[in-house]
Amino acid sequence: MKNTKIDFKKAQEDILGYLKLLLEKKGMVNLPPEILSEMLLDLHSRFDNYLFASVMQGLNEEGYKKIDEFIESDPKTEELMKFLQDNVPEIDQLIENARGEFEKIYLGEK
């Protein structure tokens, strides 16, 4: 288990940068700021859902029960990220794979 401190702000900035890049790859450039913000919010929600589903699929039954109990405690996002980092084997690789798959799906390559 890793015991590294998660920089939540940097992680969010990385995700937003990634999602902006996806919008650019999709041809969504030169949009008014309010439309770009709406699109980013929508895409962020879709990415979060996809990522969560990917994480859940990677868990064994014990891990699933553990995370289910933890989520019932209504943790803050930072606490959830720390929990995942500490309890999901190969979480970094899992996230990287999910990002790649999400990108292919979003861009219509899969």
Residue-by-residue pLDDT tens, the chain, 110 positions: 444 555 667 778 899 999 999 999 999 989 999 999 999 999 999 999 999 899 888 788 888 888 889 889 998 878 888 888 888 888 888 889 999 999 999 999 87
**pLDDT for the residue 1:** 44
Question: What is the token pair recorded at 46?
Answer: 């879709």
For residues 12 and 41, the answer to whether their CB atoms sit within 8 Å is: no
The model carries a pTM of 0.80
**Cα-to-chain-centroid distance, residue 55:** 9
**CB within 8 Å of 88: residues ≥ 6 apart:** 55, 58, 59, 63, 67, 94
The tokens for 93 are 């690789």
What is residue 87's predicted lDDT score, i.e. its pLDDT?
A: 83
Helices (H) and strands (E) in the chain, counts: 5, 0
d(Cα 104, Cα 63) in Å, to the nearest integer? 28
